[in-house]
Chain A
Amino acid sequence: MLQILLIAFRNLLAHRRRTLLLGGAIAGVTAVLIVLMSVTNGMKATMLESATTLMSGHVNVGGFYKVTAGQSAPVVTGYPKLIETLKKELPELDYVSQRGRGWAKLISDTSSVHVGISGIDVEGEPGFRKIIQVREGRLDDLNQPGTILIFEEQAKKLEVRVGDTMTISAPTIRGTNNTLDVRVVAIAANVGMMSSWNTFVPSKSLRDLYQLKDDTTGAVYLYLKDMKDIPAVQQRLREKLAEAGYTLMDNDPRAFWMKFEVVNRESWTGQKLDITNWEDEISFVRWVVQALSFLTGFLGFVLLVIIAVGIMNTLWIAIRERTREIGTLRAIGMQRRRVLVMFLTEALMLSLTATLTGAAFASALCLFINAQEVRAPEVVQVMLLTENWFLKVEPGSVTLAVTLITLCAMVVSLIPSFLAARMKPVTAMHHIG
């Protein structure tokens, strides 16, 4: 075997130009594939982190409260007790937060926009600080009642700066409009499409706006240690909350704001809880992630085809050049299987070295890009929910790319190698060319 390795290695060295060209191509394709996967992984991770911090938990216990049959509000009553129950029943839980939910008109001196309003206790949400990049003002000031955090895009539209006052006007469950004056305490960097329709006020201010009790909120966000547990946790929650006496809505995998129409048509009154997960609440993230995965898969396939044709062609040439050598080796007693192994070893050596080189280069490039904090185009920012590119090099993806391309190289090498092994020694020995 050592001799076969030596022959393979020296043959690769003997045909330096060909080896470099093909090895370079394989390394290049590997690098492109890994960078693509890192972009996709990075986008997935960023989107997921941003979206699940700003707009949803991994699992949400939201709900609707109806004073009359035809009027509903996204309200959960007695949330401290609910959180207690949740903490008791869910060992998978990492941490819990609660957010008020509302929809209102935000009015400045010069303009107005319709936005979603989240009530937040900013002190209790360390993840929020990580995602939100404050461009102007201070995030800590969002603790004070009558304050608001808006995004750059909204600030530009409303022509306001930190310190300016605006009015929130929100329709209530009773059909009247309540208003609340708020002071802009922080303007955050845009986070994609989030920047258009979301604002944050202290929980207490949201409750004041809607004249709700202190123990009410919009939804309880549950963050799990492992997102793989989401389906199991959802299932268990339904059982445990029902056992604890809560009334639950039927499972409806849609965002809460899409359910008002259905809920308002139903005849019940009082409180019903609704259990959703992040995919239900922010389905656009799932679509984008699926589209990205498809795109990466498609591009990966195209790259693999290109490299497969290249490898096969090169191996054909190599075998043609070495036909006499094959004949000689067969004549002096080398079995067909060993000839096959010899060529496969050569292909393996080349492809593995090239893919590992490509992987190392791609990983270094990704780390470099991350370190440079390269700004993503605006259209990408919309999906990313952040401003900068983040290329996430996952060991699993790198291993997958290296294995896939090496395997592909081996598979396409099988055909010419097999035909070389099948050659009759006498035919091979008298080959001219």
Chain B
Amino acid sequence: MSLSAEPIVSINEVTKDYHLGKVVVPALRGVTLQVHPGEFISIAGPSGSGKTTLLNLIGCVDTATSGVVRVAGKDTKQLSERKLTDLRLHTIGFIFQSFNLVSVLSVFQNVEFPLLLQKKLNASQRRERVMALLEQVGLANHAKHRPNELSGGQRQRVAVARALVTQPQIVLADEPTANLDSVTGQQIIDLMKAMNRERGTTFIFSTHDAKVMTHANAVVRLADGKVLDRVTPAEAGVALAAGGH
């Protein structure tokens, strides 16, 4: 895969502290990372290592305590709440560990929702786009179902479709396979991988599952809020087998 020189995500010396009462808990301690368009990157690390925090900062749903986070060329700290929301809507897609679908909407409506927020397409264009994606994730026959009528794997596929429907430059997935069995998890990763390959969408996903990591182009390993290294999946697998992070 040929990667463009300009990174789509650029994180420079970023720290993030959480305040629990009077106690300051550092979640990220000077993280620097660059992700290029089209990459399929896994962020690995044990619980509490800062994976979710890092994804939240890249996803513009949270702000860094210090340092610079640039997404699609924009310094997120300089953007207003409204602009950050727009950036999320037009540039980023989210896949959550617990699927986070709107329970009262059908599969079709869940996937269509970001398009409605964008207000770019008319009804027939939206329908065409949504149905094409549902076809791709194998849920075209379940378009009218509600999320509670689907299995975990099916719900996550809906979430993948929802994340991709706006054709974002980046898709962030926080432990997308954690709540799924291994076979279904594998299917979701395959699906993400296919989308990455076909559309050139950048995927950044967190996981601590070694099998999942093997699909990534690169694995960014985090520990105690710091980037340990950026390695190949094979190297990450060796390290895990050796009992490291």
Tell me the complex Cα distance, A10–B81, Å. 29
C-beta contact mask, B116-152 vs A, less than 8 Å → 1, else 0? 1110000000000000000000000000000000000
Tell me the complex Cα distance, A6–B103, Å. 12
Tell me the complex Cα distance, A338–B103, Å. 18
- Which residues of B line the A interface, CB within 8 A? 56, 59, 61-62, 81-82, 85-86, 88-90, 93-94, 96, 98, 100, 102-105, 109, 112-114, 116-118, 162, 166
Q: Is the CB of B113 within 8 A of A331?
A: no
Q: Is the CB of B62 within 8 A of A424?
A: yes
> Which residues of the partner chain B approach A324 to less than 8 Å between Cβ atoms?
98, 100
Q: Is the CB of B59 within 8 A of A6?
A: no
Tell me the complex Cα distance, A281–B166, Å. 76
Q: Is the CB of A329 within 8 A of B102?
A: yes
Give 9 pairs: A residue, B residue, CB < 8 Å, sorted on A.
Answer: A3-B109, A324-B100, A331-B88, A332-B113, A333-B86, A424-B62, A425-B61, A426-B61, A429-B61
Report which of B85, B102, B105, B118 forms a contact with A330, defined as CB distance below 8 A.
Answer: B85
Kindly identify, within residues 89 to 107 of chain A, every residue whose CB is under 8 Å from any CB belonging to chain B: none
> Which residues of the partner chain B approach A328 to less than 8 Å between Cβ atoms?
94, 96, 100, 102
- Which residues of A line the B interface, CB within 8 A? 3, 6-7, 10-11, 13-14, 324-325, 327-336, 338, 424-426, 429
Tell me the complex Cα distance, A406–B126, Å. 35
Tell me the complex Cα distance, A6–B108, Å. 13
Q: How many A-B residue pairs have CB under 8 A?
A: 71
Main secondary structure on B side of the interface with A: helix
CB nearest neighbor in A for B81: A336
Most buried by A among B89, B104, B114: B104
CB nearest neighbor in B for A422: B81
CB nearest neighbor in A for B56: A426
Distance between B14 CB and nearest chain A CB, rounded to angstroms: 15
12 new A-B contacts, CB < 8 A, other than A6-B105, A429-B61, are A3-B112, A3-B113, A3-B116, A13-B104, A324-B100, A327-B61, A328-B100, A332-B93, A332-B117, A333-B114, A333-B166, A334-B117
Tell me the complex Cα distance, A312–B117, Å. 28
Q: Is the CB of A429 within 8 A of B82?
A: no
CB nearest neighbor in A for B53: A426
> Which residues of the partner chain A approach B113 to less than 8 Å between Cβ atoms?
3, 329, 332
Tell me the complex Cα distance, A338–B89, Å. 13
Q: Is the CB of A333 within 8 A of B89?
A: yes
Please name the 4 residue pairs, one residue from A and one from B, whose CB atoms are nearest each other, closest first: A333-B89, A10-B104, A328-B100, A425-B61
Distance between A103 CB and nearest chain B CB, rounded to angstroms: 75
> Which residues of the partner chain A approach B90 to less than 8 Å between Cβ atoms?
333
Tell me the complex Cα distance, A176–B61, Å. 99
> Which residues of the partner chain B approach A331 to less than 8 Å between Cβ atoms?
59, 61, 88, 94
Q: Is the CB of A14 within 8 A of B103?
A: yes
Distance between A85 CB and nearest chain B CB, rounded to angstroms: 72
Distance between B86 CB and nearest chain A CB, rounded to angstroms: 7
CB nearest neighbor in B for A2: B116
> Which residues of the partner chain A approach B59 to less than 8 Å between Cβ atoms?
331
> Which residues of the partner chain A approach B82 to less than 8 Å between Cβ atoms?
335-336
